[in-house]
Structure 1
């Protein structure tokens, strides 16, 4: 069978016969059955010619708005890159021809806007609809399959903890041991105005967040929030202000947008349990992260709590060391240490001799006796110290 088909194809090629029907086989057969399809010869001829009136261009990632030949801006402006022979017809810079009317994508317009703002490839096709007598522009793209990555691989190198709020995203970078790195960042958005303005604000905030993650090759940890059943009066009673606050948070939109945009950029998203992240983050991390040049909010501290939960660490910091007025002074550090750090839970080694220059010989003999201190555990070895006169 294959040999017979090869012989026929070679015969057509040698004879210059092309067996391709522009517009489809169905339109070609309708020419011989005009009465059955209720068409005149002129109407059929128009459809036949329209099937050849189209312009298409494949997209390319990295180009401005994802396509260099047919470019569509976020405002809906359509421009064509003319060839050199038609450059005299250009009405814009760089040999481009800008169409008069703007386009609007009602179906999956949000996904299209996310792609062109990230300069991802989008293919366009301009064609004429004979029945409606209107020109249409169709956008298409390929969605890469989402890959499941092991959690250990995601945690390697740290990640970014993101706290979702009504008007901004509070993010803080953490290393693989749960230590906050650098300064916290806030990505603000304004949800007032019309739907297009709100959509653009959310998209702009997520774009800046994803660019930060791509720059450092990090994953993103975010709360798995769902206020669908938690904004009713039966849940919060007369707390009208709080119910209005959580109702205005674009939780589902942010989550759907973040997942789709991250999949295009190859960024992994980790969803964690949102229970008590803001409360415990403010309790254990807000005050210790204060510096003369940094005043973190409870939302920034919640980002640390979310990141530590995604890394598998406890949100609570280590127990603070004893006060300065106790004999052994400061103990172990409160900052998170690496898992392989030796002696990180041990006490400070006893140094023989007086603790201060003004102390006389013989003082501080019981400094190594940890039974006398307010500790949660007894020492592993009792220390016996003999002082010479």
Structure 2
């Protein structure tokens, strides 16, 4: 569930501090998970248990659980994207290769299997260069898949690329930094069906209309309620 909160200035500062701290821990955990590469089910469980234990001392058991679960999801999604890239590159290479095999300005075969050659020698040359580029990219993707290596940008590649094209994006440096910082915050909790009001990390009381947040260990001094803020 996602929603917007209307909070006072002090609570906004605290929420930002919590998000930044947990975001830092999430980034560190994601990097550790990515370094491990592809794991079997047992390896994933052992890895998550070990990383969760490390994170718990700086946050809480439930925050650590949400962070490690998110890291595993991000690794899996990044690996799925690699397979999709591989399929896309292979299809494009196959198409260009088939057209390069046909004479310039002519076609080979008939019906649905007919393949038209490129219209001119200059276009054919450009596609030959393009084929080399795509083949190099495919080799890199396949090497990553074999090694179990994934590439993830916390905050998103699209926003990262806007940093070098601020005018086109209609952003100032300060606006970009605000968006980048917000995108890298972590305030995610996993719901527990047997826990009242969500779970013990983020609790919502619909009758009294208050939301309570369990603070990470490092920010426990900011609490103004028995279990957090």
Q: TM-score, normalised by structure 1?
A: 0.21
Higher helix share: 2
Higher strand share: 1
Which structure's relative contact order is higher, taking Cα pairs within 8 Å and 6+ residues apart? 2
**Structure having the higher Rg:** 1
